[in-house]
Structure 1
Amino acid sequence: MIKPLGKEFRLKRLIRCETNSSVICALDHGMTSPKFLSGLRDMKARVNEVQRGGGNVFMMGKGFARITVGEFMRDTSWAMLLSASAAGCPKPNIVVQIAEVEEALRLGADAVVVYVALTGENEPQMIRFVGEVGRECEKLGMPFIAEAEYPSAYATLEELKQEYGFDYLLRNSRLCVELGADIVKTNWPGDQELFAQIVEATAVPMVVAGGTLISDEELLTRMEQAMEVGAIGCSVGRNIFQHENPFALTRALSRVIHERWGAKDALEELRATLHQG
């Protein structure tokens, strides 16, 4: 199936053609986190640090896209959030629509993003919303990034794996592709073999979520393993903007993803940079 021309052009900006890779920084946690995260205080600084480090896409709401547009480089892409989490709601897994695909197109976004939380009371509405976004994106030539993740982004990966299991990620990822997603972001399922199964089941570009704060070594190793079995990149938020040196951490991720360095070499360079202060 031939994608609409607008979608083809935007996908070329989202995924670097020469390396078939993408380093995405998620700066959308003001719409998902149950509390404010201090690393998001200076969004202009975060945008500049990530770009210097090699990041090429930002996930961001329209409000801060307007505030930071002056900092964006010519080849940097913006993926606009269409959903927010009802983090203060007593019922779990509730995601609400906050924007339209047409609005994102008008504002100049290169993609739209929807967080897809299943198993909650509103799962039928969630699936219907994802289907509508897929249909509108196909009609308007807008790439659709689906975040096929565990329902909570703020518990540890081990807790979420125990509660929901690998099959949740596999089902969610496949469902999103069936409904029109062009790129799927999902959690690291625990090992390389399981992630390879998700890649095989989806057959679209896959990126790995950074998730809760983990060590630099674990993050880089996870990304190296994912790239080896077919991922095209990462989508990392807290592990970048809460890091002591967001530029250095982004550069380390870019070494692994854009340049195909080993995690060990990228970690050595990162540690040397941090040691220099």
Structure 2
Amino acid sequence: MNSVAKKIRWSRFLNRQSGRGLIVPIDHGLTMGPIPGLDSLSRIESWILHPGITGVIAHKGMVERLGARGLLRGQGIMLHVNGMTTLAPAPDSKELLTSVERAVRLGVDAISLQINFDGKNDAHNLRLLGAVADEADRFGLPVLTMLYDKVKSSQPEQSLRRLRHLVRASVELGTDALKLGAPEELSLIPALLDGVQEHTAVFFAGGEKCEDEELLELARSVALYGASGLCVGRNVFQRENAAAILNRLQQAVLEDSGLPPSRSPFTDPGQQPGRLALRVAND
């Protein structure tokens, strides 16, 4: 991307030395209710200012409340603009709930939205992403698309083709960054990201709560294969000691100087893209 405004804002989500990011989404409350770890502001306050966190994703009400408490300092802030509760009959069809103009008024640095493709809502998802990307571009705000394919297939190759098609559709409509899961078969990862990371920032989700070593293996892979970073929620705020896991993630994702820096559309074009190998995640 050539927009200076986008580059400046996106830089707030990345570590200066490694060029990678550790973003924590806390948009789960709208979807899932007051789940453990997000059931009070005091719980969030205990970890949200950790120096390893380069960015936070939240809905407008939480941005207002956390900002009023002085808890959104020194990191990039994304406004999550769509959603749907799990109580709804079609939870994968996420509706637009606020505007890019509201994001500007809140002072955030980027826009986030989630699109889940269930095989029936493609038109809705593409219209939504296209409209949000156009409006965000008008204000110079980067867009992160959380992209999940909910259509299951017994053939890994077919799933890969579907996901690559959906990734390309998101790129064609103007998204600047992607949050993805990965195939269970790690051998398919190079084919999944082939040609993507060189022009679009790619983060990978932490998924449902897992053991520390499984999460850290994911984090090390993010750095090793040159992805843009990790976007992990429940595996941070649902930990008994969130600060402890953040310390380890910070070291694995942001501080391993022996690994190549991330390549994204906002970094030096002379850097070479890498490839990412992780596990399936759906945070």
Which range, TM-score by smaller chain?
A: 0.7 to 0.9
Matches within 5 A, 1:98-177: 98-151=97-150, 165-177=159-171
- When residues 140 and 247 of structure 1 are mapped into structure 2, their CA distance, relative to the original with a 3 A threshold, is same
Tell me the CA shift for residue 185 of structure 1: 0.5
Q: Residue 193 of structure 2 aligns to a residue in which SS?
A: helix
Q: Report if the CA contact (8 A) 1:224-1:256 is conserved.
A: yes
Separation of aligned partners in 2, 1:201 and 1:161: 24
Task: Name the one with the larger helix percent.
Answer: 1
Mapped partners of 2:105, 2:111: distance in 1? 12
* Residue range with higher mean Cα deviation, 164-173 or 138-147: 164-173
Distance 1:105 1:161 in 2: 40
1:175 alignment partner AA: A
1:209 has 2:208 as partner: no
Find the counterpart in structure 2 of residue 245 from structure 1. Answer: 241
> Is 2:197 aligned against 1:197?
no
Where structure 1 has 5 or more consecutive residues not aligned to the other structure, the ranges are 153-159, 263-277
Equivalent in the alignment of 1:221: 217
CA pair 192-261 structure 1, distance change in 2 beyond 3 A? farther
Instruction: Give the counterpart letter for 1:80 in structure 2.
Output: L
Q: For residues 180-218 of structure 1, what are the alpha-carbon distances to aligned partners after superposition, in whole Å with 9 as ceiling and x for unaligned?
A: 111110013235443333333323111110111111111
- Counterpart for residue 182 of structure 2: 188
For 2:131, what is the secondary structure of its paired residue?
A: helix
Q: How many residues align?
A: 253
More displaced stretch, 205-214 vs 183-192: 183-192
Task: Measure how far apart 1:48 and its partner are.
Answer: 4.4
Deviation at 1:37, TM superposition (A): 0.7
SS at match of 2:230: strand
Offset, 1:122: 2.6
Aligned match of 1:259: 255
Q: Which shifted more, 196-205 or 222-231?
A: 196-205
Task: Tell whether 2:115 aligns with 1:78.
Answer: no
Contact 1:173/1:198 (<8 A) preserved: no
More off after superposition, 57-66 vs 194-203: 194-203
Q: What are the within-5 Å matches in structure 2 for residues 39-118 of structure 1?
A: 39-52=37-50, 54-69=52-67, 70-72=69-71, 74-91=73-90, 93-118=92-117
Any gaps of 5 or more consecutive residues in structure 2? 259-283
Residue 47 of structure 1 and its aligned partner are, at CA, apart by 4.4
Aligned 8 A contact 2:24 2:57 in 1: yes
How far apart, CA to CA, are the structure 2 residues paired with 1:56 and 1:19? 12
Q: Distance in 1 between matches of 2:128 and 2:224?
A: 33
Deviating runs (4+, > 6 A) in structure 1?
none
Measure how far apart 1:53 and its partner are. Answer: 5.1
Conserved 8 A contact 1:13-1:76: yes
Letter in 2 for 1:206: V
List per-residue Cα deviations over 1:209-268 (Å, max 9, x = no partner). 011111111111012123222212111111111111111111111111101289xxxxxx
When the two chains are superposed, the root-mean-square deviation of aligned CA atoms in Å is: 2.4
Residues 120-141 of structure 1 show CA distances to partners (whole Å, capped at 9, x for unaligned) of 4332011011011111122210
